[in-house]
């Protein structure tokens, strides 16, 4: 489920927007790419580690962890599993974008794998199948086009012989670009334009011998 849709149901969305752009949710992203015997990428395991404030809001909204001790029962974890995958609007790409020299890579809809709460943060993982493409030279970005969610690429797990060069977003350059584009910093404006790509971490995968 796209987080902007999920959060629309929560009673805290009257938040100020700091100039020039300010997200409402922070997510650390861990990726694992699965491959076949030809060295083609065939699947993507996505791990989203949500910030502690968002975690608190979700747990309260779903009536979980009433003891507020950060320890969920098996039943509560079962209820929480897949909470962020319930509704994916048409055209939503899951905020993960893969591309080869031939163009964008198609991924399947997500299937929930696991969820847990660690140090006050929900960590949820899901799986997406990939139309097989060579892993060598694959590039990826992770971002919310509306910049409602700020994703940070924490790491990529790859098969032996492959490495990923991760380039963190240049926030100062992104902020300047937004100011030059708009000259404004209102909440309504950022709902109308898509600036998330400016704040996107990116990675390129290189595999020796593939």
Q: Report pTM.
A: 0.85
Exposure on the CB side of residue 65, measured as CA atoms within 13 A: 20
Q: What domain range includes position 30?
A: 3-207
Over residues 64-84, the pLDDT tens digits come to 989 888 899 999 999 999 999
Cβ–Cβ < 8 Å for 52, 121: yes
Q: What is the mean pLDDT of residues 23-27?
A: 94
Band (pLDDT 50/70/90 cuts) for residue 174 is confident
Question: Rounded distance, CA 148 to CA 191, Å?
Answer: 9
In the chain, the percentage of residues whose pLDDT exceeds 90 is 62
The pLDDT value given to residue 95: 95
Task: Average the pLDDT over each of 24-33, 57-66, 169-178 and give the range with the smallest value.
Answer: 169-178
The pLDDT value given to residue 186: 55
The pLDDT value given to residue 17: 41
Over residues 113-124, the pLDDT tens digits come to 999 999 999 999
The pLDDT value given to residue 14: 40
Number of domains comprising the chain = 1
Helix-then-strand count for the chain, H and E: 5, 10
Cβ–Cβ < 8 Å for 42, 98: no
Residue 127: how many other CB atoms lie within 10 Å: 17
User: Shortest CA distance to 96 belongs to which of 133, 166, 25, 45?
Assistant: 45
């Amino acid at each position: 489920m796209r987080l902007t849709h999920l959060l629309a149901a929560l009673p805290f969305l009257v938040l100020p927007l700091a100039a020039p752009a300010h997200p409402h949710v922070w997510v650390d992203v861990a990726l694992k790419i699965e491959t076949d015997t030809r060295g083609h990428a065939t699947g993507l395991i996505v791990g989203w580690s949500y910030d502690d404030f968002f975690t608190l809001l979700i747990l309260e909204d779903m009536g979980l962890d009433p003891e507020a001790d950060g320890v969920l029962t098996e039943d509560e974890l079962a209820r929480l599993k897949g909470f962020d995958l319930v509704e994916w609007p048409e055209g939503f790409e899951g905020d993960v974008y893969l591309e080869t020299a031939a163009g964008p890579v198609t991924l399947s809809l997500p299937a929930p794998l696991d969820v847990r709460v660690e140090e006050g943060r929900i960590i949820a993982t899901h799986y997406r199948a990939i139309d097989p493409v060579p892993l060598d030279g694959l590039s990826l970005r992770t971002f919310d086009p509306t910049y409602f969610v700020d994703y940070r690429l924490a790491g990529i797990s790859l098969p032996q012989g492959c490495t990923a060069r991760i380039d963190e977003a240049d926030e100062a350059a992104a902020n300047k670009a937004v100011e030059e584009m708009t000259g404004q910093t209102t909440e309504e404006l950022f709902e109308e334009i898509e600036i998330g790509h400016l704040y996107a971490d990116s990675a390129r995968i290189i595999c020796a011998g593939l």
